[in-house]
Amino acid sequence: MSLSPARTWNLPAVDGVLTSEQVADTAASIAAMQEPSGAVPWTPGEKTDVWNHVEGAMAMLVGGQVEAAERAYDWCARTQRSDGSWPMEIVVGEIKDASGETNMSAYLAVGVWHHWLLRQDRAFVNRMWPVVRKALDFVVGLQLPFGGIAWSQEWDERGPAKVNEQALLAGSSSIYQALRAGVALAELVGDPQLDWELAGGRLGHALRRHRDQFLDKSEFSMDWYYPVLGGAVRGTAAVELLEGKWDEFVVDGLGIRCVNNRPWVTGAETCELVMSLDAIGDHERALEQFVAMQHLREDDGRYWTGWVWPDQVNWPHEHTTYTAAAVVLAADELSRTTPGSGIMRGDTLAAHFDEIALECGCPDRSADRVSSHS
């Protein structure tokens, strides 16, 4: 496999928290759990889904595991289905849940754009562009009338089947970021995708003004911070959103709860909050939370998924690639080290979409951009 062009970058380090060598160890721990096929499972022998798989590829690339990252992207190209989706759950090559999840399918665009920022490898982009295009066409084809994206489509022996016509707030927020990455790629390859831009405008409006129309998953911390992490909510609105449930989810010195009614903090969610805080300029609290979750680190660079503090135990009893990946990406965002370090702030993505309100009774804001919220 050719690794040209031979573009290099410094590995991230967060002063007083993680050295670049420790970040490299964590990236290597992800590569060590990668399957021969290129799949990046949650943990060895467990499921692979394309969202967490791509996040693992991004982190491996940042941490210098270039060959492993590119094998992961090759896996995406090989396993994509005719409708542009991937199975929701694959265990060591066997499909356990054939449903196509929109958020998972969309995230490849973020990974491919991130790869371009680091490697500037046009041949790679040209190879992956048809895969990204098919994936995002699948996603925008499942947009609901209020602007959110239906969360999944079932599959049966004949192929795509029933659409689950409800939208997840966290998933749709991540799709907003993916559409901006997809449009950036479209501009790079000279293949404009107006449908994606229109879908992004409607989705952005829904995420800013109609969060009550998404499925109520408010007990999960992801529903709290993801509108900020995905980039649709910025400025004062973002500050107010994060302040609103801070005490509900943040546990001093440990990180954040995954679920608001359980005494369980998780590393991946904490790192995603870190990147959300960093995106709105709250660097002090971003660093504070990054420090807080380091109790989940092992000396070899692996990370436990979470910690149940009344019992003083790590639970589940596993080290996960997605937790390690979130740490590496958060370290890069905080330190602003690699050319891809603005991927969560949105610095390097396509411009925010014109906000479009349809069938909701809101005033016409089609000329507005999210920059007015920034």
- For the stretch 154-202, pLDDT in tens is 988 787 889 999 999 999 999 999 999 999 999 999 999 999 999 999 9
Rounded CA gap, 296 and 326, in Å? 13
Burial readout 331-360 (b: 16 or more C-beta within 10 A, e: otherwise): bbbbbebbbbbbbbbbebbbebbbbbbeee
Q: Which pTM does this prediction carry?
A: 0.95
Longest dimension (CA), the chain: 56
Q: What is the pLDDT of residue 156?
A: 83
- CA atoms lying within 13 Å on the CB side of residue 268: 20
**pLDDT score at 6:** 60
CB 350 within 8 A of CB 198: no
Q: 46 is written with which tokens?
A: 């467990």
- Per the structure block, which two tokens stand in for 351? 């411009």
Strand ranges for the chain from DSSP E: 47-48, 87-91, 94-101, 150-156, 159-167, 250-251, 255-257, 264-266, 306-308, 313-314
Main-chain dihedrals φ then ψ at residue 196, nearest 5 degrees: -65, -40
| Domains of the chain with CATH codes | 20-373 (1.50.10.20)
Distance, in Å, from the CA atom of 187 to the CA atom of 189, rounded to the nearest integer, reads: 6
| Chain segment 29-50, per-residue pLDDT in tens | 999 999 999 999 999 999 999 9
Strands across the sheet containing 87-91: 47-48, 87-91, 94-101, 150-156, 159-167
Could you write out the DSSP letters of every residue in 208-222? HH-GGGS---TTBHH
Let me know if 206 is exposed, middle or buried by CB neighbors in 10 A (0-12, 13-18, 19+): buried
* Burial group, residue 159, by CB count within 10 angstroms (0-12, 13-18, 19+): exposed
Strands of the sheet containing 264-266, edge to edge, are 250-251, 255-257, 264-266, 306-308, 313-314
As a whole number of angstroms, the distance between CA 117 and CA 280 comes to 22
**Which residues of the chain fall below pLDDT 50?**
1-4, 366-369, 371-374
**DSSP reduced 3-state for 238:** helix
DSSP string, 16-29: TTB-HHHHHHHHHH
Q: How many CA atoms lie within 13 A of 129 on its CB side?
A: 19
pLDDT at 373: 36
Question: Strand, coil or helix: what is 47?
Answer: strand
Element (H, E) at 205: helix 194-209
SS3 for 336? coil
